[in-house]
Amino acid sequence: MSFADKSFSFEFFPTKTEAGHEKLMAVARQLAAYQPEFFSCTYGAGGSTRDRTFDTVMQLEREVQVPAAPHLSCVGDSKAELRQLLAQYRDAGIKRIVALRGDLPSGMGMAASELRHANDLVEFIRAETGDHFHIEVAAYPEMHPQARNLEDDLAHFARKAKAGADSAITQYFFNADSYFYFVERIRKLGVEIPIVPGIMPITNYSKLARFSEACGAEIPRWIRKQLEAYNDDSASIQAFGEEVISRMCEQLLVGGAPGLHFYTLNQAQASLAIWKNLGGAA
């Protein structure tokens, strides 16, 4: 399979230590050889990594020379703070933003935010910067964990798209049918923006189980049982994970997904193994 007509991208998180940051940059340089469309960089709960996200994005853009897309959330940030940050990114030549509601830090209520929802943030970015930024938003094929029901979640996604989003990246999942069903339902609501599957490589079962519980991603029973059977055999877990995720990615691309967005956890090996299984080359 060729990626010739598909887009692909990689996500990083800003680190707390200099050693971690140097490792992140080394991974970014390694992945840059594969000419991804962009790198994204996450934004901590309530803007807690604002400066580190900004600095990481600037370094990726300057030194690695792959377009960088900062995450931006509205929880905990005032309009004035968001306006200033958008101006900094625009002046630095950043062209893409991942616009999210964001996670609430412990003890913070939504009343602390001037903008309460991701569609409000998308509207704000458009009002402040026009069409300068390509705006990505989040999609949840298995439903956002805080949504009341699937119908409400679909309607909320449609509001984000109609507020001015250009494309979307999904939460990770392990069942390709959940992605295809989500896209089918969204198209029936008149939303035509590209929806790129978010891909989480499987390398560590205990970490994956914690992440998945927190974000509402379902680990199918057959995958869970096989991973549990491997116990601490990391080599077997990685080999099994690589095979399972590679097959799912092939199914997604053959089925019409416009590309893939890898959640790297600041590691290169697992994402590149999947990429190579799909026929990719530097």
105-120 pLDDT per residue, tens: 555 554 556 788 999 9
Q: Identify the active-site residue in 11, 61, 123, 142.
A: 11
C-alpha 198: how far from its chain's center? 6
Alpha carbon distance 196, 8 (integer Å): 9
What are the residue ranges in the chain where pLDDT is below 70?
1-3, 44-49, 103-113, 280-282
Alpha carbon distance 57, 51 (integer Å): 10
225-278 pLDDT per residue, tens: 999 999 889 999 999 999 999 999 999 999 999 999 999 999 999 999 999 898
Residue 61 designated active-site: no
State pTM to two decimals.
0.93
Q: What is the pLDDT of residue 102?
A: 78
Q: What is the pLDDT of residue 105?
A: 57
Q: Looking at the chain, how many residues does it have?
A: 282
User: What is the chain's alpha carbon radius of gyration, rounded to the nearest angstrom?
Assistant: 18
Do residues 53 and 24 lie in contact, with contact meaning Cβ atoms separated by under 8 Å? no
- Domain 7-277 falls in which CATH fold? TIM Barrel (3.20.20)
Q: What is the pLDDT of residue 58?
A: 93
The burial of 49, by beta-carbon neighbours within 10 Å (0-12 exposed, 13-18 middle, 19 or more buried), is given as buried
What backbone phi and psi angles, to 5 degrees, belong to 197?
Answer: -65, 135
Do residues 97 and 72 lie in contact, with contact meaning Cβ atoms separated by under 8 Å? yes
